[in-house]
Chains A and B, each alone.
Chain A
Amino acid sequence: MANHNTLRPDLKHALRADLKQISDQIKPGSRVLDLGCADGELLAWLQANKAVRGIGVDVDVMSIVSCVEKGLNVIQADMESGLQSFEDGSFDYVVLSLTIQAMHNIELILQEMLRVGKVGIVTFPNFGFWENRWQILIGRMPVSETIPYEWYNTPNIHFCTVHDFDRLLGKMGMKVDKQVVLHQGETVDFLPNLFGSLALVQFSQA
């Protein structure tokens, strides 16, 4: 799970499209835990623009260095075993951005997100995106903007579609509060599970 951020650096904008969407959901002055925070781009932006009190978590030491350079608070940890460092209900938002598809224990991390926080925000590449479906149809494993790896070198082990993710939340007694589906940074309203390559789901206990 070294570098679980599946977007290539050349796709970075001022604030990456999915991060921009996440930042739009977050109320100023809140407490945010950013899981798989990578270089801390989101937290740094939230801290500077929304007076958020944030903590990042990442497993990769170079991510820790980048975050420390930005003056962020960051904890090096492997989230696969849960979030033991954090007390129940200590955050307003727990963010897991483009990381869940590379994790082993998805149910545990979702549970943990809503244990330590009130609201969870997850972004993931939508496997239901038409390009992915098309590539499967012609007999290939999908490689696309949000899934930029080949089958043999991908860190991603758990792909899902927008519908799959909703179903899992329901099964776990959680509810979707908000869902945004994107393609190339733009919101997709028409047949989002087909035309969106990236999904953002905000959820809480049902």
Chain B
Amino acid sequence: MSNDSVGIVIPQKIEFNEPITLSSGAVLPRYELMVETYGELNADKSNAILICHALSGHHHIAGKHAESDKAAGWWDNMVGPGKPIDTNKFFVIGLNNLGGCHGSTGPSSTNPETGAPYGSAFPVVLVRDWVETQARLADRLGIKQFAAIIGGSLGGMQALRWSITYPERVRHALVIASAPKLTAQNIAFNDVARQAIITDPEFHGGDFYQHGVVPRRGLRLARMLGHITYLSDDGMGEKFGRMLRSGEYKYGYEVEFEIESYLRYQGDKFSTMFDANTYLLMTKALDYFDPARHYGGSLAEAMRQAQAKFLVVSFTSDWRFAPSRSREIVKALLDADRTVSYAEIESQHGHDAFLMEDAPYMAVMRAYLNNVAKEIA
């Protein structure tokens, strides 16, 4: 493995036995979070960075679990020794959010009350609930204040929520390809995805585990739709265009165009590794997120609670969370007289650009985090 990789990492499960009351009023008596860390926590525990994941993300951010792994963690180009989020300087934490399906307690976990998977009984979880569980994780690790909390998309919403709920615990918040709340169009896409899952005959109202089946078709459609919205037309055009697999039209409904093949492959892969209920939960968390709601609809009023310094980054071809949405965050921060820098990165990769290795984007992140490292040194 190259020497800018964090190498082989071992995730760990952390148990929380204190009950948590969620925003919906539901109570989970106990839960577990799957966590992965990179780098070393310094003596005064000031160098911790929390990375919040997006919709289908998890704890495995960088490095590999085994030499034989084909791919590294989902943000391996950003996190590692000498990389923008430099693990020689920072102690980086990734976790799978509550409700997830990669080791943290979620709908597919066993409900201690019934001995069967939670399924439909698993409560709706909001962004603020995740922040609560993450704060408890920080308490467990003895981290009073994060050097930075970083997230893209739904992860950026968690960083925003952190800065409002626990102002004194966040030095810097990096909000990337995110939005202060979803638009009607965003919610509409999410609902089509959810409907694909819910109407799959094998969904069984969310209790498919007991039936020994998985609503694979629904998940597959949800992911295909999602995937289209995460890319840009230009990016897709450049990669696939109207390329045909066989070189000629077949006048049928089998896979003909390369883009069809790609989307079906992505959909199939996703449907074997993701939990349908988790997909519903995560998209609902997205829909519900609206920190301004508790401040008379004023995002600036909400952001006035924050003490963190902010870096906001957007990407020009991202139409799912367009730059104008990031500019709303920037404006609210400026109106609230908070400290903020904003970069609008030229990219054709759409919403997914925040996971790509783009030189100016990497340079902005590196420059910002170098200063964070200096601050805490």
Contacts and interface: CB of A to CB of B under 8 A. Distances in A.
A61 interface: yes
Interface in B153-210: none
B344 A76 contact: yes
B55 interface: no
Given A67-B341, A73-B339, A73-B341, A62 B371 contact: no
B341 A74 contact: yes
A76 B343 CA distance: 5
Contacts of B364: 61, 64-65, 68
Given A85-B327, A87-B335, A64 B341 contact: yes
Contacts of A86: 334
A69 interface: yes
Contact of A61 (B311, B335, B345): B345
A67 B363 CA distance: 11
Interface in A60-86: 61-62, 64-65, 67-69, 71-77, 84-86
A61 B363 CA distance: 10
A73 B360 contact: no
B74 interface: no
B340 interface: yes
A92 to B, nearest CB: 14
A96 B370 CA distance: 29
A87 to B, nearest CB: 6
A67 B364 CA distance: 9
Contacts, number: 56
B257 interface: no
Contacts of A71: 371
B342 A75 contact: yes
Main secondary structure of the interface of A (DSSP, over half): mixed
Contacts of A65: 343, 360, 363-364, 367
B370 A61 contact: no
B368 interface: yes
Interface string B309-344: 001000000000000000100110011000111111
Contacts of B346: 61
A104 to B, nearest CB: 19
Contacts of B340: 73, 75
Interface in B361-377: 363-364, 367-368, 370-371
A73 to B, nearest CB: 5
Contacts of B370: 69
Nearest to B339: A73
Interface string A34-75: 000000000000000000000100000110110111011111
B334 A61 contact: no
Nearest to B375: A71
B331 A77 contact: no
Contacts of A73: 339-341
Contacts of B341: 64, 67-68, 72-75
B326 to A, nearest CB: 10
A87 B334 contact: yes
B104 to A, nearest CB: 34
A66 to B, nearest CB: 8
Nearest to B363: A65
A77 B340 CA distance: 13
B371 A68 contact: yes
Contacts of B345: 61
A150 B335 CA distance: 42
Given A65-B363, A72-B341, 7 more contacts: A55-B334, A61-B343, A61-B344, A61-B346, A65-B343, A67-B341, A84-B331
11 contacts: A55-B334, A61-B344, A61-B364, A65-B367, A68-B367, A72-B341, A73-B341, A75-B334, A76-B344, A84-B327, A85-B331
Interface of B: 311, 327, 330-331, 334-335, 339-346, 360, 363-364, 367-368, 370-371
Interface of A: 55, 61-62, 64-65, 67-69, 71-77, 84-87, 90
Closest 7 CB pairs of A and B: A68-B367, A69-B367, A61-B360, A65-B363, A75-B342, A76-B344, A64-B343
